[in-house]
Structure 1
Amino acid sequence: MSAPVLLLASASPARLATLRSAGLDPQVAVSDVDEPAVLARAAAAAEAAGSGPVPAADQVLLLARAKAEDVRGRAPTVDGTAPTVTVGCDSMLEMTAADGERAVVGKPADVAEATARWRSMRGRSGILHTGHWLIRADGATAAATSSTTVHFADVTDGEIEAYVATGEPLRVAGAFTVDGLGGPFVRGIEGDHHGVVGLSLPLLRELLGDLGLAITDFWRER
Protein backbone atom coordinates (compact mmCIF):
# COMPACT_ATOMS: atom_id res chain seq x y z
CA MET A 1 0.00 0.00 0.00
CA SER A 2 1.40 3.39 -1.01
CA ALA A 3 2.07 6.06 1.59
CA PRO A 4 -0.68 8.67 2.01
CA VAL A 5 -0.14 12.00 0.25
CA LEU A 6 -1.33 15.42 1.43
CA LEU A 7 -1.90 18.13 -1.17
CA LEU A 8 -1.75 21.71 0.12
CA ALA A 9 -3.88 24.11 -1.91
CA SER A 10 -1.91 27.22 -0.97
CA ALA A 11 0.98 29.36 -2.15
CA SER A 12 1.82 30.34 1.44
CA PRO A 13 5.44 29.59 2.39
CA ALA A 14 4.43 29.81 6.06
CA ARG A 15 1.80 27.07 5.72
CA LEU A 16 4.22 24.83 3.87
CA ALA A 17 6.93 25.46 6.48
CA THR A 18 4.46 24.69 9.29
CA LEU A 19 3.60 21.31 7.76
CA ARG A 20 7.23 20.46 7.09
CA SER A 21 8.25 21.38 10.64
CA ALA A 22 5.60 18.92 11.84
CA GLY A 23 7.13 16.09 9.82
CA LEU A 24 4.90 16.23 6.74
CA ASP A 25 6.07 16.62 3.16
CA PRO A 26 3.03 17.81 1.22
CA GLN A 27 2.60 18.41 -2.46
CA VAL A 28 1.66 21.99 -3.30
CA ALA A 29 -0.76 23.33 -5.90
CA VAL A 30 -1.97 26.93 -6.06
CA SER A 31 -5.63 27.58 -6.81
CA ASP A 32 -7.02 29.98 -9.40
CA VAL A 33 -10.01 30.94 -7.26
CA ASP A 34 -11.42 34.45 -7.65
CA GLU A 35 -11.70 35.16 -3.92
CA PRO A 36 -13.63 38.46 -4.15
CA ALA A 37 -16.17 36.75 -6.43
CA VAL A 38 -16.65 33.90 -3.95
CA LEU A 39 -17.29 36.32 -1.11
CA ALA A 40 -19.54 38.51 -3.24
CA ARG A 41 -21.75 35.53 -4.09
CA ALA A 42 -21.91 34.53 -0.43
CA ALA A 43 -22.81 38.07 0.62
CA ALA A 44 -25.53 38.28 -2.04
CA ALA A 45 -26.99 34.95 -0.94
CA ALA A 46 -26.97 36.04 2.69
CA GLU A 47 -28.66 39.32 1.84
CA ALA A 48 -31.32 37.53 -0.22
CA ALA A 49 -31.97 35.21 2.71
CA GLY A 50 -32.12 38.15 5.11
CA SER A 51 -29.47 36.58 7.32
CA GLY A 52 -27.12 39.55 7.55
CA PRO A 53 -23.38 39.75 6.79
CA VAL A 54 -21.42 36.52 6.46
CA PRO A 55 -19.34 36.05 9.66
CA ALA A 56 -15.58 36.18 9.27
CA ALA A 57 -15.24 32.59 10.51
CA ASP A 58 -17.53 31.49 7.69
CA GLN A 59 -15.85 33.65 5.05
CA VAL A 60 -12.48 31.96 5.53
CA LEU A 61 -14.17 28.56 5.41
CA LEU A 62 -15.85 29.42 2.11
CA LEU A 63 -12.53 30.45 0.61
CA ALA A 64 -10.73 27.40 2.00
CA ARG A 65 -13.39 25.18 0.41
CA ALA A 66 -13.14 26.97 -2.93
CA LYS A 67 -9.36 26.56 -2.98
CA ALA A 68 -9.47 22.86 -2.04
CA GLU A 69 -12.16 22.07 -4.61
CA ASP A 70 -10.38 24.01 -7.35
CA VAL A 71 -7.05 22.29 -6.78
CA ARG A 72 -8.59 18.85 -6.32
CA GLY A 73 -10.21 19.15 -9.73
CA ARG A 74 -6.79 19.31 -11.36
CA ALA A 75 -4.71 17.59 -8.70
CA PRO A 76 -1.32 16.19 -9.60
CA THR A 77 -0.86 12.50 -9.07
CA VAL A 78 1.86 10.34 -7.56
CA ASP A 79 2.40 7.18 -9.60
CA GLY A 80 -1.03 7.74 -11.11
CA THR A 81 -2.75 7.99 -7.72
CA ALA A 82 -4.62 11.09 -6.57
CA PRO A 83 -3.56 12.67 -3.25
CA THR A 84 -5.06 11.02 -0.18
CA VAL A 85 -6.38 14.35 1.08
CA THR A 86 -6.41 17.92 -0.22
CA VAL A 87 -6.20 20.78 2.27
CA GLY A 88 -7.39 24.31 1.53
CA CYS A 89 -6.82 27.20 3.97
CA ASP A 90 -7.59 30.89 4.15
CA SER A 91 -7.02 33.53 6.83
CA MET A 92 -8.54 36.90 7.74
CA LEU A 93 -8.16 39.31 10.64
CA GLU A 94 -11.27 40.62 12.38
CA MET A 95 -10.98 43.90 14.29
CA THR A 96 -13.66 45.63 16.38
CA ALA A 97 -13.81 49.44 16.31
CA ALA A 98 -14.62 51.62 19.33
CA ASP A 99 -18.23 51.89 18.13
CA GLY A 100 -18.53 48.11 18.04
CA GLU A 101 -18.40 47.87 14.25
CA ARG A 102 -16.44 44.85 13.03
CA ALA A 103 -14.07 44.97 10.10
CA VAL A 104 -12.71 41.87 8.36
CA VAL A 105 -9.48 42.25 6.42
CA GLY A 106 -7.18 40.08 4.34
CA LYS A 107 -3.96 41.21 2.67
CA PRO A 108 -3.54 44.99 2.32
CA ALA A 109 -3.69 46.25 -1.26
CA ASP A 110 -0.72 48.61 -1.01
CA VAL A 111 1.74 50.41 1.27
CA ALA A 112 -0.76 53.12 2.21
CA GLU A 113 -3.37 50.57 3.29
CA ALA A 114 -0.84 48.51 5.26
CA THR A 115 0.39 51.65 7.07
CA ALA A 116 -3.13 52.84 7.89
CA ARG A 117 -4.10 49.39 9.10
CA TRP A 118 -1.15 49.14 11.47
CA ARG A 119 -1.89 52.59 12.88
CA SER A 120 -5.41 51.43 13.65
CA MET A 121 -4.31 48.04 15.06
CA ARG A 122 -1.51 49.14 17.37
CA GLY A 123 -2.23 48.73 21.05
CA ARG A 124 -5.41 46.81 20.26
CA SER A 125 -6.49 43.20 19.78
CA GLY A 126 -8.07 41.29 16.92
CA ILE A 127 -9.13 37.77 16.02
CA LEU A 128 -7.27 35.88 13.32
CA HIS A 129 -9.59 33.36 11.65
CA THR A 130 -8.15 30.52 9.56
CA GLY A 131 -10.50 28.26 7.67
CA HIS A 132 -9.53 24.64 6.92
CA TRP A 133 -11.29 22.49 4.31
CA LEU A 134 -10.18 18.90 3.74
CA ILE A 135 -11.30 16.65 0.88
CA ARG A 136 -10.44 12.95 0.95
CA ALA A 137 -9.72 11.17 -2.34
CA ASP A 138 -13.22 9.66 -2.36
CA GLY A 139 -14.85 13.08 -1.93
CA ALA A 140 -15.55 12.97 1.82
CA THR A 141 -14.97 16.32 3.54
CA ALA A 142 -14.11 17.73 6.97
CA ALA A 143 -13.90 21.41 7.80
CA ALA A 144 -13.55 23.91 10.65
CA THR A 145 -12.20 27.36 11.47
CA SER A 146 -9.41 28.14 13.92
CA SER A 147 -9.91 31.51 15.69
CA THR A 148 -7.12 33.04 17.76
CA THR A 149 -7.03 36.36 19.60
CA VAL A 150 -3.97 38.46 18.75
CA HIS A 151 -2.76 41.35 20.95
CA PHE A 152 -0.75 43.97 19.07
CA ALA A 153 1.99 46.08 20.62
CA ASP A 154 1.67 49.87 20.73
CA VAL A 155 4.23 50.34 17.97
CA THR A 156 5.56 53.74 16.91
CA ASP A 157 5.05 55.43 13.56
CA GLY A 158 8.72 54.80 12.80
CA GLU A 159 8.36 51.07 13.50
CA ILE A 160 5.29 50.87 11.29
CA GLU A 161 7.04 52.64 8.42
CA ALA A 162 10.10 50.41 8.74
CA TYR A 163 7.98 47.25 8.89
CA VAL A 164 5.79 48.17 5.93
CA ALA A 165 8.92 49.08 3.93
CA THR A 166 10.08 45.46 4.19
CA GLY A 167 7.10 44.36 2.13
CA GLU A 168 6.17 41.58 4.54
CA PRO A 169 2.81 43.09 5.65
CA LEU A 170 1.68 43.24 2.01
CA ARG A 171 2.01 39.48 1.60
CA VAL A 172 -0.02 38.22 4.56
CA ALA A 173 -3.57 38.34 5.91
CA GLY A 174 -3.97 41.02 8.55
CA ALA A 175 -0.71 42.70 7.50
CA PHE A 176 1.34 40.93 10.18
CA THR A 177 3.23 37.74 11.01
CA VAL A 178 4.18 36.10 14.29
CA ASP A 179 6.89 33.95 12.71
CA GLY A 180 8.69 36.69 10.81
CA LEU A 181 9.63 40.36 11.06
CA GLY A 182 6.26 41.15 12.62
CA GLY A 183 6.88 38.92 15.63
CA PRO A 184 8.18 41.72 17.91
CA PHE A 185 5.00 43.70 17.27
CA VAL A 186 2.69 40.98 18.62
CA ARG A 187 2.73 41.06 22.40
CA GLY A 188 0.62 37.96 22.90
CA ILE A 189 -1.92 35.52 21.52
CA GLU A 190 -4.76 33.51 23.01
CA GLY A 191 -5.24 30.25 21.17
CA ASP A 192 -3.26 28.18 18.70
CA HIS A 193 -0.29 30.11 17.34
CA HIS A 194 -0.13 27.76 14.33
CA GLY A 195 -3.54 29.10 13.32
CA VAL A 196 -2.09 32.60 13.26
CA VAL A 197 0.72 31.43 10.99
CA GLY A 198 -1.96 30.10 8.64
CA LEU A 199 -2.61 26.43 9.41
CA SER A 200 -3.59 24.94 12.77
CA LEU A 201 -1.77 21.66 13.31
CA PRO A 202 -4.05 20.50 16.19
CA LEU A 203 -7.12 21.24 14.08
CA LEU A 204 -5.58 19.49 11.07
CA ARG A 205 -5.05 16.40 13.22
CA GLU A 206 -8.69 16.46 14.34
CA LEU A 207 -10.04 16.91 10.83
CA LEU A 208 -7.87 14.12 9.46
CA GLY A 209 -9.23 11.95 12.26
CA ASP A 210 -12.78 12.82 11.19
CA LEU A 211 -11.87 11.40 7.78
CA GLY A 212 -10.47 8.22 9.28
CA LEU A 213 -6.87 9.30 8.75
CA ALA A 214 -4.01 9.70 11.23
CA ILE A 215 -1.61 12.61 10.93
CA THR A 216 1.23 10.28 11.97
CA ASP A 217 0.69 8.28 8.76
CA PHE A 218 1.69 11.38 6.80
CA TRP A 219 5.02 11.78 8.58
CA ARG A 220 7.88 11.55 6.13
CA GLU A 221 10.59 9.00 6.79
CA ARG A 222 13.34 10.35 9.00
Structure 2
Amino acid sequence: MVAANPAALVAELARLKAEAVDATLGHDDRTTVLVGCDSMLELDGEAYGKPHDPEAAAARWRLMRGRSGVLHTGHHVVVHDADGRRVRAGVGSTVVRFADLTDDEVAAYVATGEPLEVAGSFTVDGLGGPFVESIEGDHHNVVGISLPLLRRLLLDLGVSWPSLWSPRG
Protein backbone atom coordinates (compact mmCIF):
# COMPACT_ATOMS: atom_id res chain seq x y z
CA MET A 1 0.00 0.00 0.00
CA VAL A 2 1.09 3.52 -0.75
CA ALA A 3 -0.53 6.64 0.70
CA ALA A 4 0.29 8.84 -2.30
CA ASN A 5 -2.02 10.17 -5.00
CA PRO A 6 -2.39 7.00 -7.12
CA ALA A 7 -2.72 8.84 -10.46
CA ALA A 8 0.38 10.94 -9.78
CA LEU A 9 2.24 7.87 -8.60
CA VAL A 10 1.59 5.81 -11.75
CA ALA A 11 2.47 8.83 -13.91
CA GLU A 12 5.84 9.11 -12.17
CA LEU A 13 6.52 5.36 -12.37
CA ALA A 14 5.69 5.34 -16.11
CA ARG A 15 8.03 8.32 -16.60
CA LEU A 16 10.87 6.60 -14.74
CA LYS A 17 10.46 3.42 -16.81
CA ALA A 18 10.38 5.24 -20.14
CA GLU A 19 13.27 7.56 -19.30
CA ALA A 20 15.43 4.65 -18.07
CA VAL A 21 14.96 2.80 -21.36
CA ASP A 22 15.34 5.96 -23.45
CA ALA A 23 18.73 6.64 -21.83
CA THR A 24 20.02 3.31 -23.18
CA LEU A 25 18.96 3.86 -26.81
CA GLY A 26 20.90 5.41 -29.64
CA HIS A 27 18.90 7.67 -31.93
CA ASP A 28 19.21 8.70 -35.57
CA ASP A 29 16.88 10.43 -38.05
CA ARG A 30 14.38 7.58 -38.00
CA THR A 31 11.28 8.07 -35.89
CA THR A 32 11.46 6.19 -32.60
CA VAL A 33 8.44 5.90 -30.33
CA LEU A 34 8.92 4.71 -26.77
CA VAL A 35 6.04 4.10 -24.35
CA GLY A 36 6.36 3.47 -20.63
CA CYS A 37 3.34 2.44 -18.54
CA ASP A 38 2.58 1.52 -14.96
CA SER A 39 -0.71 0.61 -13.25
CA MET A 40 -2.18 0.56 -9.75
CA LEU A 41 -5.59 -0.04 -8.31
CA GLU A 42 -7.08 2.67 -6.08
CA LEU A 43 -9.45 1.47 -3.39
CA ASP A 44 -10.57 3.72 -0.53
CA GLY A 45 -7.93 6.29 -1.53
CA GLU A 46 -5.07 3.78 -1.24
CA ALA A 47 -2.92 2.64 -4.16
CA TYR A 48 -2.35 -1.09 -4.59
CA GLY A 49 0.29 -2.49 -6.91
CA LYS A 50 1.51 -6.07 -7.15
CA PRO A 51 1.01 -8.08 -3.94
CA HIS A 52 3.96 -10.46 -4.65
CA ASP A 53 2.89 -13.07 -2.09
CA PRO A 54 -0.19 -15.26 -1.66
CA GLU A 55 -1.19 -13.89 1.74
CA ALA A 56 -1.21 -10.30 0.48
CA ALA A 57 -3.12 -11.29 -2.69
CA ALA A 58 -5.77 -13.14 -0.67
CA ALA A 59 -6.16 -10.23 1.74
CA ARG A 60 -6.48 -7.85 -1.20
CA TRP A 61 -9.22 -9.95 -2.80
CA ARG A 62 -11.14 -10.15 0.47
CA LEU A 63 -11.00 -6.34 0.55
CA MET A 64 -11.98 -5.90 -3.14
CA ARG A 65 -14.73 -8.50 -3.51
CA GLY A 66 -18.16 -7.05 -4.13
CA ARG A 67 -16.73 -3.54 -4.46
CA SER A 68 -15.43 -1.14 -7.09
CA GLY A 69 -12.01 0.39 -7.47
CA VAL A 70 -10.27 2.62 -10.00
CA LEU A 71 -7.44 1.18 -12.08
CA HIS A 72 -5.01 3.98 -12.98
CA THR A 73 -2.44 3.51 -15.73
CA GLY A 74 0.27 6.09 -16.26
CA HIS A 75 1.57 6.58 -19.79
CA HIS A 76 4.82 8.33 -20.73
CA VAL A 77 5.56 8.66 -24.45
CA VAL A 78 8.90 9.73 -25.92
CA VAL A 79 9.32 10.40 -29.64
CA HIS A 80 12.68 10.91 -31.32
CA ASP A 81 12.85 11.97 -34.97
CA ALA A 82 14.58 14.44 -37.27
CA ASP A 83 12.90 17.29 -35.33
CA GLY A 84 14.38 16.17 -32.00
CA ARG A 85 12.95 14.68 -28.82
CA ARG A 86 9.39 15.28 -27.64
CA VAL A 87 7.50 13.92 -24.62
CA ARG A 88 3.86 13.62 -23.57
CA ALA A 89 2.29 11.96 -20.56
CA GLY A 90 -1.17 11.06 -19.34
CA VAL A 91 -3.09 8.82 -16.97
CA GLY A 92 -6.03 6.62 -17.89
CA SER A 93 -8.48 5.79 -15.10
CA THR A 94 -11.10 3.05 -15.34
CA VAL A 95 -13.68 1.95 -12.75
CA VAL A 96 -13.61 -1.80 -12.14
CA ARG A 97 -16.42 -3.58 -10.27
CA PHE A 98 -15.39 -6.87 -8.72
CA ALA A 99 -17.57 -9.92 -8.14
CA ASP A 100 -18.35 -10.96 -4.58
CA LEU A 101 -16.03 -13.96 -4.52
CA THR A 102 -16.37 -16.74 -1.99
CA ASP A 103 -13.40 -17.61 0.21
CA ASP A 104 -12.93 -20.78 -1.87
CA GLU A 105 -12.80 -18.74 -5.10
CA VAL A 106 -10.26 -16.34 -3.57
CA ALA A 107 -8.09 -19.26 -2.44
CA ALA A 108 -8.33 -21.02 -5.80
CA TYR A 109 -7.49 -17.86 -7.76
CA VAL A 110 -4.55 -16.97 -5.54
CA ALA A 111 -3.27 -20.57 -5.83
CA THR A 112 -2.92 -20.08 -9.61
CA GLY A 113 -0.23 -17.46 -8.97
CA GLU A 114 -1.79 -15.07 -11.48
CA PRO A 115 -2.76 -12.31 -9.03
CA LEU A 116 0.68 -12.17 -7.38
CA GLU A 117 2.51 -10.16 -10.04
CA VAL A 118 -0.18 -7.90 -11.48
CA ALA A 119 -1.36 -4.47 -10.41
CA GLY A 120 -4.38 -4.68 -8.15
CA SER A 121 -4.09 -8.50 -7.86
CA PHE A 122 -6.30 -9.18 -10.87
CA THR A 123 -6.34 -9.54 -14.62
CA VAL A 124 -9.31 -8.91 -16.86
CA ASP A 125 -7.76 -10.87 -19.74
CA GLY A 126 -6.73 -13.99 -17.84
CA LEU A 127 -8.07 -16.33 -15.20
CA GLY A 128 -9.36 -13.37 -13.18
CA GLY A 129 -11.62 -12.13 -15.98
CA PRO A 130 -14.78 -13.81 -14.63
CA PHE A 131 -14.23 -12.04 -11.31
CA VAL A 132 -14.63 -8.62 -12.93
CA GLU A 133 -18.36 -7.83 -13.03
CA SER A 134 -18.09 -4.66 -15.09
CA ILE A 135 -15.81 -1.92 -16.31
CA GLU A 136 -16.71 1.74 -16.66
CA GLY A 137 -14.26 3.28 -19.08
CA ASP A 138 -11.48 2.00 -21.29
CA HIS A 139 -11.01 -1.79 -21.24
CA HIS A 140 -7.50 -1.46 -22.71
CA ASN A 141 -6.47 0.65 -19.73
CA VAL A 142 -7.27 -2.25 -17.39
CA VAL A 143 -5.12 -4.55 -19.53
CA GLY A 144 -2.22 -2.15 -18.99
CA ILE A 145 -2.14 0.39 -21.83
CA SER A 146 -4.93 2.72 -22.91
CA LEU A 147 -4.88 2.63 -26.70
CA PRO A 148 -7.22 5.65 -27.05
CA LEU A 149 -5.05 7.69 -24.66
CA LEU A 150 -1.87 6.54 -26.42
CA ARG A 151 -3.34 7.59 -29.77
CA ARG A 152 -4.13 11.08 -28.41
CA LEU A 153 -0.65 11.46 -26.88
CA LEU A 154 0.96 10.41 -30.16
CA LEU A 155 -1.19 12.87 -32.12
CA ASP A 156 0.00 15.63 -29.76
CA LEU A 157 3.54 14.59 -30.71
CA GLY A 158 2.82 14.67 -34.45
CA VAL A 159 2.66 10.87 -34.88
CA SER A 160 -0.50 9.48 -36.47
CA TRP A 161 -1.75 6.07 -35.36
CA PRO A 162 -1.82 4.67 -38.93
CA SER A 163 1.87 5.59 -39.36
CA LEU A 164 2.65 2.87 -36.82
CA TRP A 165 1.06 0.14 -38.92
CA SER A 166 3.94 -0.38 -41.30
CA PRO A 167 7.68 0.21 -41.06
CA ARG A 168 9.14 3.25 -42.74
CA GLY A 169 11.78 2.65 -45.36
TM-score, length basis structure 2: 0.91
Deviation at 1:60, TM superposition (A): 0.3
Q: Is the aligned partner of 1:87 residue 2:35?
A: yes
1:63 aligns with 2:6: no
Which residue does 1:121 correspond to in 2? Answer: 64
Structure 1 residue 82: deviation in Å? 6.5
Question: How much does 1:83 deviate?
Answer: 5.7
1:53-111 CA-partner distances (Å, limit 9, x unpaired): 6411110000000000000111267xx76761110000000001xxxxx2111000200
Task: Pick from 123, 145, 161 the counterpart of residue 199 of structure 1.
Answer: 145
CA distance in 2, matches of 1:174, 1:180: 14
SS in 2 for 1:144: strand
- The alpha carbon displacement at 1:220 in A equals 3.8
> SS of the counterpart of 2:66?
coil
Q: Provide the alpha-carbon RMSD of the alignment.
A: 1.7
Amino acid across the alignment from 2:60: R
Higher strand share: 2
- Say which SS state the counterpart of residue 93 (structure 1) adopts: strand
Find the residue that maps to 2:24 and give its secondary structure. coil
Shift of 1:139: 2.2
Matches within 5 A, 1:181-192: 181-192=127-138
Q: Which residue of 1 aligns with 2:52?
A: 109
Shift of 1:189: 0.6
Taking every aligned residue pair, what percent have the same amino acid on both sides?
Answer: 57
Counterpart check, 1:166 vs 2:112: yes
| Residue of structure 2 in register with 1:179 after alignment | 125
CA distance in 1, matches of 2:4, 2:47: 10
Is the 2:4–2:46 contact (alpha carbons within 8 Å) kept by the matching residues of 1?
A: no
**Which stretches in structure 1 are left out of the alignment for 5+ residues?**
1-38, 40-52, 97-101
Distance 1:76 1:165 in 2: 43
Partner of 1:7: none
Q: Deviations over 1:117-167 (max 9, x none)?
A: 000100000000000000111221111000000000001111111100111
Matches of 1:73 and 1:212 in 2, distance apart? 22
Return the alpha-carbon distance in structure 1 between the equivalents of residues 26 and 30 of structure 2.
Answer: 7
Tell me the number of residue pairs that the alignment of Structure 1 and Structure 2 aligns.
163
Counterpart CA distance in 2 for 1:81 and 1:87 is 19
- Tell whether the 8 Å contact from 1:76 to 1:83 is kept in structure 2 after alignment: no
Distance verdict in 2 for CA 1:217–1:82, change over 3 Å: closer
Please list every run of 5 or more consecutive structure 2 residues that lacks an aligned counterpart in the other structure: none
C-alpha contact 2:57 2:110 (8 A) present in aligned 1: yes
From 55, 60, 75, the counterpart of 2:25:
75
Q: Name the counterpart of 1:9.
A: none
